[in-house]
Amino acid sequence: MTTGGDATRKLDQMPPQSNYAELTGIDIVSVALDCAVCSMKVTDALANRNGVLHGGALMTLADNVAGTLAFINLPADKTNTTIESKTNFMRGVHVGDTVTARCEALQIGRTLMVLQVTTTRGDGKIAAVTTQTHMILNWSK
C-alpha cells in the first residue's frame, strides 16, 4: 500500500478493514488525500448465476474504497455516513478477473462529500461508475 501527504497520519488512525471487506477479498492498494484505490479478485462466491461479478459485490467494493477516501479526509472529531449511492453498470466482469476501484473526491465540503468511483476490469475497460454522497457528522460514542 502506498500513501501520500497527510494521509499517512490518518492511515495510522484508520480502523482495520471490516470482516465483511475481508470476506469479499477487498485489498487496499493505495491511499492519498485525493485518491484511494482498492482491488478485488472475482471468485465464484462473488458471482451471480451468469458467472459474472454480482452487482452487489461490485457496489461493496465501491462503498469500501469511497469510505476509505472519506475517512482520510475527515476532521479528527467527525465521522460520516453514506446518504446516497448510485452505480451505472457498463460491462460484466468474469470469474477469475480482478477489478480495481479508484475513488476521487468531486467535492469535499463542511457537511457533505461527493465521491466518484471508477471500477475497471483487468483489461482496463470500465465495468461501472459509482457516485456517492457522504454526510459529515459530529462524532460521539
Give the count of domains, the chain: 1
Closest CA to 103 of 79, 136, 132, 123: 132
Q: What pLDDT digit, counting tens, does each position of 117-139 carry?
A: 999 999 999 999 999 999 999 97
Q: What pLDDT digit, counting tens, does each position of 8-47 carry?
A: 667 777 777 888 899 999 999 999 989 999 999 999 999 9
Q: What pLDDT digit, counting tens, does each position of 37-54 carry?
A: 999 999 999 999 999 999
CATH code for the domain in which residue 31 is found: 3.10.129.10
- Dump the DSSP string for 79-122: EEEEEEEEEEE-S--BTT-EEEEEEEEEEE-SSEEEEEEEEE-T
Query: In terms of residue numbers, what domain contains 63?
Result: 2-138
- Order of strands across the sheet with 98-108? 2-3, 26-32, 35-41, 98-108, 112-120, 126-138, 78-89
CB contact at 8 A, 80 and 135: yes
Whole-model pTM: value is 0.90
pLDDT band at 114 (very low <50, low <70, confident <90, very high): very high
Q: Which helix or strand (DSSP H or E) is residue 130 part of?
A: strand 126-138
